[in-house]
Amino acid sequence: MKPVERRFTMPIDALKVAIGAVRLAASLDSTREHMHSVHIEREGAQLRFVATNGHWMAVYSIMASDADGDPCEWGATLALPDAIAIMKRKSFGEVVVDFDAKVATFVDGTMKLNVVECQYPPWREVFAKEENKEARATIGLNPRYVGLIAESFDAILGKPKKNDRYSKHVVCLEPGIDFGPIRVTCPEAPQLEIILAPAKQSPTSWTLGKREETEEKKKSA
């Protein structure tokens, strides 16, 4: 049986986007080699880029360039410094990433890669199942508000220190009935509650307040 080749070809701009989308979730601790990395998997017609620090995870999926061919399946883990170096490289055209040869070939030269051979954490076990995707999309958050929400809680709890990439505070999301307005709270800052409309729902369509009135009428009837 012919051995599976762990390699892919991708426009450099698309590769930079893929790495940039997940790299912030990777661990900054270089001693945790298996998490101080970006994991790349080929599954059928898709390439998946994955990073996690054990607290949160980012998964980015894109169609492989040879999606119409005979898709193979493989996985390989690229050390985070090399992933960032690729993302920051000022190049153009396509790049061929070969994990077995441990080299990335650009139009303007090559780059040796540090391929982490230790087993990557079982990220699929915590990745949302297909049947949950519809509900997840229904209560989706508008990403532009995420940073503002974090700043609102930081006003009470204090901002993370300069060298802390991740806040140590836990923020809880509580979807409303029928996936209505979402309540955002933090156990460490009970004085603040944020009510957030789902991304596809305008504030004028909120049922906030109306539902309670309806329930009171039912009780008095």
- Residue (of 176, 173, 172, 181) closest to 201 by Cα position: 181
Residue 57: exposed, middle, or buried by beta-carbon count in 10 A (0-12, 13-18, 19+)?
middle
**pTM to 2 decimal places:** 0.73
Is the pLDDT at 203 greater than 60? The verdict is no
- Type of residue at 80: L
* Domains by residue range for the chain, with CATH: 7-127 (3.10.150.10), 133-220 (no CATH)
Is the pLDDT at 160 greater than 90? The verdict is no
Residue 196: exposed, middle, or buried by beta-carbon count in 10 A (0-12, 13-18, 19+)?
buried
> Beta-strand (E) ranges in 83-208?
94-98, 103-106, 109-112, 115-116, 172-175, 182-185, 194-196
pLDDT in tens, 207-216: 544 444 444 5
Is the pLDDT at 150 greater than 90? The verdict is no
pLDDT in tens, 63-110: 888 766 667 889 999 999 999 999 999 989 999 999 999 999 999 999
pLDDT in tens, 109-130: 999 999 999 889 888 877 765 5
Tokens representing 81 are: 């410094």
